[in-house]
Structure 1
Amino acid sequence: MSGELPPPDKPLAEAVRLRAERRRRAGRLPTVTRNLGQIGILGWQVTVPMLVGLAIGRWLDHRLASGIFWTAPLLIVGTGLGCWSAWAWIQRQ
């Protein structure tokens, strides 16, 4: 017992090194690339709730034979939720 530490676990050390390298490379992404990614995320965050509201409204109108009584308001609600979701995401960034 000489008090020496055992050699580091090579697979663990390699995994840590690879992760650090990936983080360094991710930090060097061009600003244009990051902005385009954010635009894409924002687009989906607004579009998906709109489409969900539209689909539920169409389904309700078909089941209840009510024209567009449910479709229009649920589309507006979905749009509002999507815009709020996008705004909240931007605030976190």
Structure 2
Amino acid sequence: MESEMGGQSENPDENDPLVRAARRGAERDRRGAAESEPSVIRRLGQIGVLGWVIVTPTLLGVFIGRWLDRLTHSQLFWTAPLLLIGFALGVWSAWKWVEKA
């Protein structure tokens, strides 16, 4: 009888987007249950690394800015923008690190 229906698949639910989304959700749940949750120590370590990923470029920008300000005898001409650039670079790096993890 199915051959009379123009060659449709055996299971009409295969083309239903709601059924496909439910299957994907069930598969995600199954994989999540199979993978173990990281320990508290590991999470604290990740938070520490994340902090240093932001702080290091920010401090580097401040130190380079202060050095350039001393060389050029300016007050905050180099420090302020390099501080902001270092902070932006640190946040971007942290975002990429979290996205990858």
TM-score tier by shorter-chain length is 0.5 to 0.7
Q: How does 1:65-84 map to 2 (within 5 A)?
A: 65-84=73-92
Deviations 1:10-67 (A, max 9, x none): xxxxxxxxxxxxxxxxxx8852111101100001000100011000000000000011
Bigger RCO of structures 1 and 2 (CA < 8 A, at least 6 apart): 1
Tell me the secondary structure at the aligned position of residue 67 of structure 1: coil
TM-score, length of structure 1 as denominator length: 0.67
Alignment root-mean-square deviation, CA: 1.8
**Structure 1: 5+ residue runs without aligned partners?**
1-27
User: Is the counterpart of residue 90 in structure 1 residue 98 in structure 2?
Assistant: yes
- The code of the aligned residue for 1:77 comes to I
Stretches of 4+ aligned residues off by more than 6 angstroms: none
- The code of the aligned residue for 1:58 comes to R
- The code of the aligned residue for 1:81 comes to L
Number of residue pairs matched?
67
Q: How does 1:1-93 map to 2 (within 5 A)?
A: 31-93=39-101
Q: Mark the CA change 1:30 to 1:88 in structure 2 (over 3 Å): closer, same or farther.
A: closer
Of all paired residues, the percent bearing the same amino acid is: 55
The structure number with the bigger radius of gyration is 2
State the distance in 1 between where 2:39 and 2:92 align. Answer: 25
